[in-house]
Structure 1
Amino acid sequence: MGDAAQVLDAARARGWRIATAESCTGGLIAGALTEVPGSSDVVECGYVTYSNAAKTRMLGVTAAALDAHGAVSEEVAREMAHGAWGRAGVDLAVSVTGIAGPGGSEFKPEGMVCFGLATPTGVITETMQFGALGRAQVRQTTVERALTLLLQACDS
């Protein structure tokens, strides 16, 4: 909760609002933020878009991106973050899409998570390889990284 509280304080200091767009974490990032009392002045909403259809319907992720790169890709993370940012009308939106496990493939192994961060100046993406830590730990590590990205954006 400490990292979430720091994110909220930093966003509050700038007068910023936040949205989340989550796949593999299933709402855990929004949950971490809203666990902190008083978070309602910063957190606008969270989109849990587990299926590809939901990513398209709720966030505007294109079929072209999904077909060309797959749901677990920086391209889809970019479109998820941008969609949440625009649709929610917020200052910051973070997105995550990944393989929490068990399973995966040679090219998209368990523990691979793609992040997107939409700000007023654009969208950045990154891919992290957390490894086969087990489903719960991949999801928790993903939440921690997403909070770090939000905090860095607020402090920049």
Structure 2
Amino acid sequence: MDLLQLGAQLLKSKLGNQAAGQDVISSALGGLLGAQNGQLDIGKLVQQLAGNAGVQAALKSMLGGGQANINPAQILEMFGAAKLGGFANQIGVSQQAAAGGLADVLPQLISQAGGAGNLLQGLGGLLGGGAQNAAGGLGDVLGGALGGLLGGKK
């Protein structure tokens, strides 16, 4: 199962019957997270998360294989009220419910991507290098995008 479908499935499970069907959620989630051709770009998602100072500690934990929590307020800050509100309308839930669902689902997606070995490949695209950059370690793969977050490695 690809990450976008996994995210839609997790979000549907979290939101229950109040939300639209999984296909609608998948399409809306792809739009929110910038999926292209039906595929979620995990590197782009990590970049979005890294741009939010309140989420950086959680992101560092996720990338290190640990547990992380993001709160709904951080989701609202990251996407903005208009974009999050549009997403919520698409899937048929309140903005608060959408933010809460995303706060639970996004860390799971990043952890799943790392566990499946897809995280390094996805992040390698940030530098144009692909998975071969993994030999230099995670800090090298992330380069300038997240180097400071991971202790200044570049």
Greater helix share, 1 or 2? Answer: 2
TM over 0.5: no
- TM-score, with length taken from structure 2: 0.30
**Pair member with larger Rg:** 2
